[in-house]
Chains A and B, each alone.
Chain A
Amino acid sequence: GDSVTQMEGPVTLSEEAFLTINCTYTATGYPSLFWYVQYPGEGLQLLLKATKADDKGSNKGFEATYRKETTSFHLEKGSVQVSDSAVYFCALSDRNDYKLSFGAGTTVTVRA
């Protein structure tokens, strides 16, 4: 079945550091890929998405590119802020399935 593997946390960074969270997937079809963010005490929010190979999703300074050849969708941000401290989830949705398959989540803490 479909699955998502993302790098384990926790990740602790200083402000203005570069952030990368690795995500790889396994899917039989042509999935759409997502990054969700969960701030402390809140629900999940869609951060960015990509629906086909080579698409780049971007939002709030975060970027991720859908790489079919490496089955990856790594999240990057060039300069993090304290307000980026959150749990980040990689997820995929197969067009033939109603489910979102989530990775285990990566906790990111940014220190001033």
Chain B
Amino acid sequence: DTAVSQTPKYLVTQMGNDKSIKCEQNLGHDTMYWYKQDSKKFLKIMFSYNNKELIINETVPNRFSPKSPDKAHLNLHINSLELGDSAVYFCASSQTTGLVSREQFFGPGTRLTVL
């Protein structure tokens, strides 16, 4: 069974379009994350939700809007896509209450290409 899944795996779109990426985890974790990985493999945290509450909101353009309908899902909507948004987006989850180590489990990634 897939622990953290994302759809779609690939997304190719034109500048100015609006797109969404969906993420689901079946690990029963209470916290979910979105990361952006650039072409040099650098990982940057974008958002995090704990029990559906936004707890991390890094310096990200407000064209990016996360939504967490429940603890198992965290979606990412991007408005007015720009060339610089091209990257791989990773969803992750972790259990942050009651554990010391808080390791995160990652989805397979969504490669977004903006033309």
Q: Which of A17-25, A44-52, A73-81 lies at the binding interface?
A: A44-52
Q: How many residues of B contact A (CB 8 A)?
A: 25
A68 in the interface, Cβ–Cβ < 8 Å?
no
Q: Which of B14-22, B61-69, B73-81, B98-106 lies at the binding interface?
A: B98-106
Q: A42-B108, A98-B55, A98-B96 are in contact. Are A87 and B101 (CB under 8 A)?
A: no
**Chain B 67-100 interface mask (CB, 8 Å, partner A; 1/0):** 0000000000000000000000010101010001
Docked-complex contact B104 and A100, CB < 8 angstroms = yes
Q: Can you give 11 A-B contacts (C-beta < 8 A)?
A: A32-B102, A34-B101, A34-B103, A46-B103, A93-B102, A98-B48, A98-B56, A98-B94, A98-B102, A105-B43, A107-B41
11 further A-B pairs in the complex, CB-CB below 8 A; given A36-B106, A98-B96: A44-B43, A44-B90, A44-B92, A44-B106, A95-B102, A98-B31, A98-B48, A98-B55, A98-B56, A100-B104, A105-B42
The chain A residues found within 8 Å of chain B, CB to CB, are 32, 34, 36, 38, 42-46, 49, 51, 87, 89, 93, 95, 98-100, 102, 104-105, 107
